[in-house]
Amino acid sequence: MIILAKYKLIPDEVNRNKRQVKSEEKSICPICLSEALNVIGTRNRRAINSNGEKLIIVIRRLKCSNCKKIHHELPDILVPYKRYLSKCIEAIIDGQGGRISCENSSIYRLKRWFKGIEAHIKGSLASIAAKMNSAIKMGGESSLKAIKTYVGNELGWLARAVRIVANTNNWVHTRFAFMA
Ligand SMILES: [Zn+2]
Protein backbone atom coordinates (compact mmCIF):
# COMPACT_ATOMS: atom_id res chain seq x y z
CA MET A 1 0.00 0.00 0.00
CA ILE A 2 1.32 3.38 -1.06
CA ILE A 3 -0.57 6.60 -0.31
CA LEU A 4 -0.16 9.54 -2.68
CA ALA A 5 -0.41 13.15 -1.57
CA LYS A 6 0.30 14.75 -4.98
CA TYR A 7 -1.96 13.60 -7.79
CA LYS A 8 -4.79 14.63 -10.07
CA LEU A 9 -8.16 12.89 -10.29
CA ILE A 10 -9.11 12.79 -13.96
CA PRO A 11 -12.86 12.35 -14.63
CA ASP A 12 -13.72 9.47 -16.92
CA GLU A 13 -15.33 10.51 -20.21
CA VAL A 14 -18.03 7.84 -20.07
CA ASN A 15 -18.78 7.26 -16.38
CA ARG A 16 -19.05 10.56 -14.52
CA ASN A 17 -18.56 8.86 -11.15
CA LYS A 18 -15.25 7.35 -12.25
CA ARG A 19 -11.85 8.97 -11.70
CA GLN A 20 -8.39 8.03 -12.93
CA VAL A 21 -5.59 8.79 -10.49
CA LYS A 22 -2.67 10.57 -12.15
CA SER A 23 0.27 10.50 -9.75
CA GLU A 24 2.50 13.55 -9.57
CA GLU A 25 5.07 12.07 -7.25
CA LYS A 26 7.68 9.31 -7.39
CA SER A 27 6.49 6.35 -5.37
CA ILE A 28 8.95 4.36 -3.29
CA CYS A 29 8.49 0.73 -2.25
CA PRO A 30 7.39 0.79 1.43
CA ILE A 31 9.12 -2.57 2.00
CA CYS A 32 12.61 -2.13 0.49
CA LEU A 33 12.60 1.62 -0.36
CA SER A 34 13.44 0.91 -4.00
CA GLU A 35 12.23 3.38 -6.63
CA ALA A 36 12.07 0.65 -9.25
CA LEU A 37 8.29 0.25 -9.32
CA ASN A 38 6.60 -0.91 -12.50
CA VAL A 39 2.91 -0.46 -13.28
CA ILE A 40 1.42 -3.93 -13.80
CA GLY A 41 -2.24 -2.98 -14.04
CA THR A 42 -5.09 -1.07 -12.48
CA ARG A 43 -7.97 -1.86 -10.19
CA ASN A 44 -11.34 -0.20 -9.64
CA ARG A 45 -11.64 0.94 -6.04
CA ARG A 46 -15.13 1.84 -4.84
CA ALA A 47 -15.61 4.88 -2.61
CA ILE A 48 -18.45 6.96 -1.12
CA ASN A 49 -18.30 10.75 -0.79
CA SER A 50 -19.90 13.02 1.82
CA ASN A 51 -23.11 13.24 -0.24
CA GLY A 52 -23.42 9.47 -0.21
CA GLU A 53 -22.53 9.27 -3.92
CA LYS A 54 -20.71 6.18 -5.07
CA LEU A 55 -17.41 6.77 -6.84
CA ILE A 56 -15.01 4.50 -8.68
CA ILE A 57 -11.36 5.41 -8.29
CA VAL A 58 -9.03 3.66 -10.73
CA ILE A 59 -5.85 2.91 -8.79
CA ARG A 60 -2.56 1.51 -10.09
CA ARG A 61 -0.98 -1.80 -9.16
CA LEU A 62 2.77 -1.46 -8.91
CA LYS A 63 5.34 -4.22 -8.66
CA CYS A 64 8.68 -3.57 -7.05
CA SER A 65 11.39 -5.00 -9.31
CA ASN A 66 13.71 -5.29 -6.32
CA CYS A 67 11.66 -7.16 -3.67
CA LYS A 68 8.90 -8.32 -6.10
CA LYS A 69 6.11 -7.17 -3.79
CA ILE A 70 2.91 -5.73 -5.31
CA HIS A 71 1.54 -2.44 -3.99
CA HIS A 72 -1.68 -0.57 -4.63
CA GLU A 73 -1.26 3.16 -5.03
CA LEU A 74 -4.08 5.03 -3.26
CA PRO A 75 -4.75 8.77 -3.45
CA ASP A 76 -4.89 10.22 0.07
CA ILE A 77 -8.62 10.93 -0.25
CA LEU A 78 -8.92 7.19 0.50
CA VAL A 79 -8.16 5.22 3.65
CA PRO A 80 -6.97 1.64 3.06
CA TYR A 81 -9.88 -0.85 3.11
CA LYS A 82 -12.46 1.88 3.86
CA ARG A 83 -15.26 3.02 1.51
CA TYR A 84 -15.93 6.47 2.92
CA LEU A 85 -13.52 9.20 1.86
CA SER A 86 -10.86 10.14 4.39
CA LYS A 87 -12.40 13.58 5.04
CA CYS A 88 -15.78 11.94 5.85
CA ILE A 89 -14.17 9.54 8.32
CA GLU A 90 -12.16 12.39 9.81
CA ALA A 91 -15.33 14.48 10.33
CA ILE A 92 -17.03 11.53 12.02
CA ILE A 93 -14.05 10.95 14.36
CA ASP A 94 -14.02 14.67 15.18
CA GLY A 95 -17.73 14.58 16.03
CA GLN A 96 -18.69 16.63 12.97
CA GLY A 97 -20.29 13.91 10.91
CA GLY A 98 -23.68 15.65 10.86
CA ARG A 99 -23.05 16.99 7.35
CA ILE A 100 -22.03 13.58 6.03
CA SER A 101 -24.66 11.48 4.31
CA CYS A 102 -23.88 8.32 6.21
CA GLU A 103 -26.09 5.82 8.01
CA ASN A 104 -25.86 5.66 11.81
CA SER A 105 -24.66 2.07 11.58
CA SER A 106 -21.77 3.16 9.33
CA ILE A 107 -20.90 6.02 11.68
CA TYR A 108 -20.85 3.57 14.58
CA ARG A 109 -18.66 1.12 12.66
CA LEU A 110 -16.21 3.84 11.57
CA LYS A 111 -15.88 5.13 15.13
CA ARG A 112 -15.31 1.61 16.38
CA TRP A 113 -12.74 1.02 13.61
CA PHE A 114 -10.80 4.12 14.63
CA LYS A 115 -10.90 3.15 18.32
CA GLY A 116 -9.34 -0.15 17.26
CA ILE A 117 -6.55 1.39 15.23
CA GLU A 118 -5.73 4.72 16.89
CA ALA A 119 -3.19 3.28 19.33
CA HIS A 120 -1.43 1.56 16.42
CA ILE A 121 -1.34 4.80 14.39
CA LYS A 122 -0.03 6.69 17.40
CA GLY A 123 2.62 4.03 18.07
CA SER A 124 3.76 4.01 14.43
CA LEU A 125 4.04 7.80 14.35
CA ALA A 126 5.91 7.75 17.67
CA SER A 127 8.44 5.19 16.45
CA ILE A 128 8.99 7.08 13.17
CA ALA A 129 9.39 10.36 15.08
CA ALA A 130 11.93 8.69 17.39
CA LYS A 131 13.96 7.43 14.41
CA MET A 132 14.01 10.96 13.02
CA ASN A 133 15.12 12.35 16.40
CA SER A 134 11.96 14.42 16.57
CA ALA A 135 11.67 16.70 19.57
CA ILE A 136 8.00 15.74 19.99
CA LYS A 137 7.52 13.81 23.20
CA MET A 138 4.20 12.33 24.19
CA GLY A 139 2.88 12.10 27.71
CA GLY A 140 -0.42 10.58 28.74
CA GLU A 141 -2.54 12.24 26.08
CA SER A 142 -5.27 10.35 24.27
CA SER A 143 -4.19 8.56 21.09
CA LEU A 144 -6.25 10.96 18.98
CA LYS A 145 -4.60 14.00 20.56
CA ALA A 146 -1.15 12.46 20.14
CA ILE A 147 -1.81 11.65 16.46
CA LYS A 148 -2.84 15.28 15.85
CA THR A 149 0.29 16.50 17.63
CA TYR A 150 2.46 14.48 15.25
CA VAL A 151 0.74 15.40 11.98
CA GLY A 152 -0.92 18.74 12.83
CA ASN A 153 -4.55 19.13 13.85
CA GLU A 154 -5.77 21.13 10.85
CA LEU A 155 -8.14 19.46 8.38
CA GLY A 156 -6.63 16.45 6.66
CA TRP A 157 -4.93 15.04 9.76
CA LEU A 158 -6.30 11.56 9.08
CA ALA A 159 -4.96 11.56 5.50
CA ARG A 160 -1.55 12.75 6.71
CA ALA A 161 -1.39 10.11 9.45
CA VAL A 162 -2.53 7.30 7.12
CA ARG A 163 0.07 8.30 4.51
CA ILE A 164 2.96 8.17 6.98
CA VAL A 165 1.87 4.86 8.49
CA ALA A 166 1.12 3.17 5.14
CA ASN A 167 4.21 4.41 3.29
CA THR A 168 6.46 3.06 6.05
CA ASN A 169 4.81 -0.35 5.76
CA ASN A 170 3.11 -0.05 9.15
CA TRP A 171 -0.52 -0.21 8.00
CA VAL A 172 -2.49 -3.18 9.26
CA HIS A 173 -5.77 -4.60 8.12
CA THR A 174 -7.78 -3.96 11.27
CA ARG A 175 -10.25 -6.72 10.56
CA PHE A 176 -7.44 -9.20 11.07
CA ALA A 177 -5.35 -7.31 13.57
CA PHE A 178 -7.93 -6.23 16.12
CA MET A 179 -11.29 -7.82 15.47
CA ALA A 180 -10.46 -11.48 14.99
ZN1 LIG B 1 10.49 -3.38 -2.84
Q: What is the 158 CA–ligand 1 centroid distance (Å)?
A: 25
User: Are 89 and 118 in contact, with CB atoms under 8 Å apart?
Assistant: no
Query: Which regions of 37-148 does DSSP assign to beta strands (E)?
Result: 37-48, 54-64, 70-75
Q: What is the 41 CA–ligand 1 centroid distance (Å)?
A: 17
Q: What is the 162 CA–ligand 1 centroid distance (Å)?
A: 20
Report the predicted TM-score, pTM, of the whole model to 2 decimal places.
Answer: 0.89
Q: How confident is the model at residue 172 (pLDDT cuts 50, 70, 90)?
A: confident
User: Are 56 and 17 in contact, with CB atoms under 8 Å apart?
Assistant: yes
CA distances from residue 51 to 14, 90, 102, 148 in whole angstroms, order as listed: 21, 15, 8, 26
Q: What is the pLDDT of residues 113-139, one digit of tens each?
A: 999 999 999 999 999 888 887 777 666
Q: What is the mean pLDDT of the chain?
A: 91
Q: What is the pLDDT of residues 19-53, one digit of tens each?
A: 999 999 999 999 999 999 999 999 999 999 999 99
